[in-house]
Every structure is written in C-alpha cells, then in structure tokens.
Amino acid sequence: MISKEMEMALNEQIELEGYASFLYLSMASWCDKEGLEGCARFMHRQSEEEKEHMLKIFHYLSEVDGFALTPAIAQPPHEFESVQSMFEQVYEHEQKVTNSIHGLVKKSYDNNDLTTWNFLQWYVEEQREEEALMRSILDKIKLIGGGPQSLYYIDKEVDKINAQAAKAEGEEAA
Ligand code: OFO
C-alpha cells in the first residue's frame, strides 16, 4: 500500500500531466488557426501522449491501493507570439515536468518506496527523450531562420518529425 505522502505527490503529477495535455491541445488549435497543419498534428499527438502519462499514474495508484484524483485543470493560453515562442514554452514546460519527476524519484527513494521508484523510471527516460526532441525542433527552427517561407519549412520539418515518431511507436500519424 502506498503512503499518503506519495499518493498526494503522484496526484500532483497527475495534474501536471493533465495540464500538459491541455496546453498542447490549445497549441494544436492555435497551429491549425495559423495554417500550420504539420505542427497541429504534432501537438495533437503530444497532447494524447500527455493524457496517457496522466492515466498511467491513475492506474498505478489503483494498483497500489492508492486513490487517484481527477484534477481541476487551469485554462492554458490560447494565443502564442510565434511558432518559435510556442516551442520555447513547450520546452520550458517539459523541463518543469522533468524537475517534478526527479523530485518524485527522490521522495520515493527517501521513503523507501522502491515500487514507486521503479515505476517512475519510465518517466525519467520519457522526459529525457521529450526534452531532446523539443530541443532538436528548436534547433531546426533556428537553422531555418526567419526568411519569407520559413513557416512553410518549419511546418514541413515538424510534420516529418511527427510522422517518424508515430512510425517508431507503430501508429498512424493522425
Ligand atoms: Fe508527460 O511527458 Fe511531457 O510533460
């Protein structure tokens, strides 16, 4: 059975993952509005992934006799200054999630809750991958620069990255 302290901390993580899902959904909608279809597909996919991350903790809590709470999610922003600033916000959010996961890993270790410690290793790896992915997109955006057709090329690149990620996970790119 999981401790109340760990249960509460995992419920906070549920909220953070849920917020990430809503934030990326909001970004997908903005991208669509701006005609950035590839970026919209990418953000929709990220939003779904975050929902899965949230649910994974839900199921874990049930499994260890804890109680998962459905979070109240704050409304994310709807407008973004540019595609670059949007991806900068994604990267920042991912760093925040990474710090939170690392905090949970430490807490589980300090509490001698090695079951939760082991469960969290998946998230440690996932965050490493997500941060690397967002950094590589930001690097591409900087390389493409601000020329007249830059948005077209950025959108194409992000769409390509999305298709590769979907393929690697054996799904159809939506
Ligand atoms: Fe849940 O991995 Fe990103 O935030």
DSSP state string for 22-65: HHHHHHHHHHHHTT-HHHHHHHHHHHHHHHHHHHHHHHHHHHTT
**Is 130's C-beta closer than 6 angstroms to any atom of ligand 1?**
yes
The whole-angstrom distance between residue 89's C-alpha and the CA centroid of its chain comes to 11
pLDDT, mean of residues 133-141: 96
Distance from the CA of 113 to the center of ligand 1, in angstroms? 23
Q: Is the pTM of this model over 0.85?
A: yes
Longest dimension (CA), the chain: 59
pLDDT at 148: 81
With tokens 């990267």, the residue in question is 91
Residue 77 buriedness (CB in 10 A; 0-12 / 13-18 / 19+): exposed
Residue nearest atom 1 in ligand 1 by C-alpha distance: 50
Atom of ligand 1 nearest to the CA of 46: 3
pLDDT at 135: 96
Instruction: Report the alpha-carbon distance of residue 87 to residue 140 in Å, rounded.
Output: 11
Arithmetic mean of pLDDT over the chain: 95
pLDDT, mean of residues 49-57: 98
Reported as a pLDDT band with limits 50, 70 and 90, residue 141 is: very high
- CATH number among 3.30.70.1060, 1.20.1260.10, 3.40.640.10, 1.10.150.530, domain 4-173: 1.20.1260.10
Asked if pLDDT for residue 174 goes beyond 60, the answer is no
**Is 45's C-beta closer than 6 angstroms to any atom of ligand 1?**
no
Q: Percent of the chain scored above 90 by pLDDT? A: 91
Instruction: Report the alpha-carbon distance of residue 173 to residue 159 in Å, rounded.
Output: 9
Q: Could you report the per-residue pLDDT of 83-131, keeping only the tens digit for each?
A: 999 999 999 999 999 999 999 999 999 999 999 999 999 999 999 999 9
Asked if pLDDT for residue 172 goes beyond 80, the answer is no
